[in-house]
Structure 1
Amino acid sequence: MNGPEMLEIRCSRAWPPLAEAHLGEWVLRWAGGFTGRANSVLAVGDAGRPVREALDAACDFAHDRGIPPMAQVVRDSPNEHAIVAEGWVEAKRHRRGHEVVVLTAPLAAAPAVDGVTVSDEPSDAWWELTLGPAEDSPAARQVLTGGKVGYGVATLDGVTAGVVRGALVDGWLHVGRLEVAPAFRRRGLASALMAALGAWGVEHGAGRAVLQVAEGNEGALALYAGLGYAPHHRYRYWVPAPGSRIEGEEDSTS
């Protein structure tokens, strides 16, 4: 597999589903509908069979578990071209955007910031800010606590004002779920959380960080660019064409 596909494998391991199966190097994933990354087939590398057969098997896996079939694939890769040739279409109804930019940056130690910590266990306040009522579920909590994870918290005026999640995989720090409460935005908390999480990653042996942002999220892209993150590649979600035998509703988040 090439560089983008290998990095997608690492990102998938940092965001573990509740159940998975393999088709050659492809990974079938299910997590009760929580996020597209954990409820799709990661179509990287060689499926070990014709693409049409692999997509049929991915659809069977999804339908057996009550989720719509969907493929996550590196943009402009041979697998994407093959999936398009089988009649699949872009998942444009995907809630957080069907095209995602993957950004990377080197990590470095950073001085501690008052009120910003990274812990090995999530607090109740971390959960409350990370997951809204519509997302909170046992499946979501299992995905977010899978692997070696650091839970960043920024406390201001005695209140949990911001949170972030970092997972370690093969010397990479996968960053996600950065959130600052509306009342505390524009105070530098996002940057402080990212710095603290990066320092935690360095302490645990990570040399680089990776994160994923929906193509249209200009605010987040600008924030991360200012922190030294650069585009590495893009991926897209694809679904069976409307009216096909294997069509399903696109209802997962990114």
Structure 2
Amino acid sequence: MEFTAGGRLEVRITPSDVGKRVSVRRRAESADGAAKFTDTVGVLTSWTGGVLLITRRTGETVRIPESSLVAGKVVPAAPARRRGMPAASFEELARVSARAWQPVESEQLGEWVLRAASGFTRRANSVLPLGDPGIPVDDALARARAWYAERGLPAYVQTATGAEGTQERLCAALAERGWEREVTAELRTGGLAPIGDLDADVRRVRLGRSVDEPWLRRYQRFGVPGPHVLKVLGGGPSVWFATISGESDVPAAIGRCVVDGRWAGFMAVEVDPAYRRQGLATAVMAALARRALDEGASAAWLQVESDNDGALALYEGMGLAVHHLYHHFRYSRSS
């Protein structure tokens, strides 16, 4: 990382750069007393009282004493988009992915949306903040905590980091106010046609418009599936369910796809462990992609947790690249 000007290290950032993406180098003492240097890249979310807060792409906030800085500079807002990836803003993808996980009930709070579905999936039971709530942030968060408490639910806020227009400053504000980051996942995008062209035995895949009992038996993300589960899974502009039968009444593999204009979102792709490494996930994805292409979609997106190594390798091989990361923060501090 190049910090020098005329061969000298320089700190070329100031408090006026709060909100910008920066790269800094700081000095830290090692165990043997020798000086060592650590680099941090992220959004400068505050600079007060001689302390910088930098929120990384992962959602982690790093506190850096101003006195330890040896170099710093502003860097581009986001990494360059990989060639062939569909152009999309964070806000567009946030709205598209939200429509694929529609809540049972919601309430508008300025440009925030409070969403609830009796606790089934955080994506349908969290605040979606896409602008100004219309009141001070502390008041908005108090309103959200009360709204979820009335429904017997924990209060979550869904945020994003790592792309232009994402919410690093809100992540830092939540952490300062006692909200803890519980889950981090990647939102990946790519071309849809390459997925539809995958070499897979799609003849084994049965597609349908509604979820059935066998599909639900494979999708073990709840106890007894109540009406709220069926409503969330069936909600969306154009929803398709994929099933590959196994040797029992539980499918060998399943998947779900929501077609929304140019976008096809893939989710709930699950394979019985006894059937893994047989290309079933690829077959499910290819069959759903071909149906989405028939409906006029051209781009793909999906969400995958950052520690799911097997799924990450599969999707990377399909040409799906990280657009941004998203997080769910849960309120944990007593009011």
The TM-score with structure 2 as length reference comes to 0.66
The structure with the largest alpha-carbon Rg is 2
User: Which residue identity lines up with residue 192 of structure 1 in the other structure?
Assistant: A
Deviations 1:51-103, CA, capped at 9 Å, x for gaps: 11111111111011110111111125333233334x133233xxxxx111111
**Separation in 2 of the partners of 1:81 and 1:238?**
11
Q: How far is the alpha carbon of 1:171 from its aligned partner?
A: 2.1
Q: Which residue in the other structure is 2:269 paired with?
A: 178
Q: Which residue in the other structure is 1:251 paired with?
A: none
Aligned length: 237
Partner-residue secondary structure (3-state), 1:235: strand
Deviations 1:126-163, CA, capped at 9 Å, x for gaps: 12212356262221111001122001112356863110
Matched, 1:102 2:193: no
After superposition, where does 1:1-254 map in structure 2 within 5 Å? 3-75=89-161, 76-85=167-176, 87-92=177-182, 98-108=183-193, 109-110=196-197, 113-131=202-220, 134=223, 136-147=225-236, 148-155=238-245, 160-242=251-333, 244-245=334-335
Q: Which has the higher contact order (CA 8 A, sep 6+)?
A: 1
Query: Would the alpha carbon gap of residues 226 and 55 (structure 1) be closer, same or farther in structure 2, given more than 3 Å must change?
Result: same
**Separation in 2 of the partners of 1:240 and 1:158?**
42
Q: How far is the alpha carbon of 1:191 from its aligned partner?
A: 0.7
The TM-score with structure 1 as length reference comes to 0.86
Structure 1 gaps, min length 5: 93-97, 246-254
Q: How far is the alpha carbon of 1:170 from its aligned partner?
A: 3.2
**Separation in 2 of the partners of 1:61 and 1:231?**
33
Q: How far is the alpha carbon of 1:178 from its aligned partner?
A: 0.6
User: Which residue identity lines up with residue 104 of structure 1 in the other structure?
Assistant: T
On the 8 A contact 1:15/1:146 being kept in 2, the answer is yes
Taking only the aligned residue pairs, the percentage that are identical comes to: 36
User: Which residue identity lines up with residue 140 of structure 1 in the other structure?
Assistant: V
**Separation in 1 of the partners of 2:134 and 2:224?**
35
**Separation in 1 of the partners of 2:132 and 2:261?**
22
Structure 2 gaps, min length 5: 1-87, 162-166
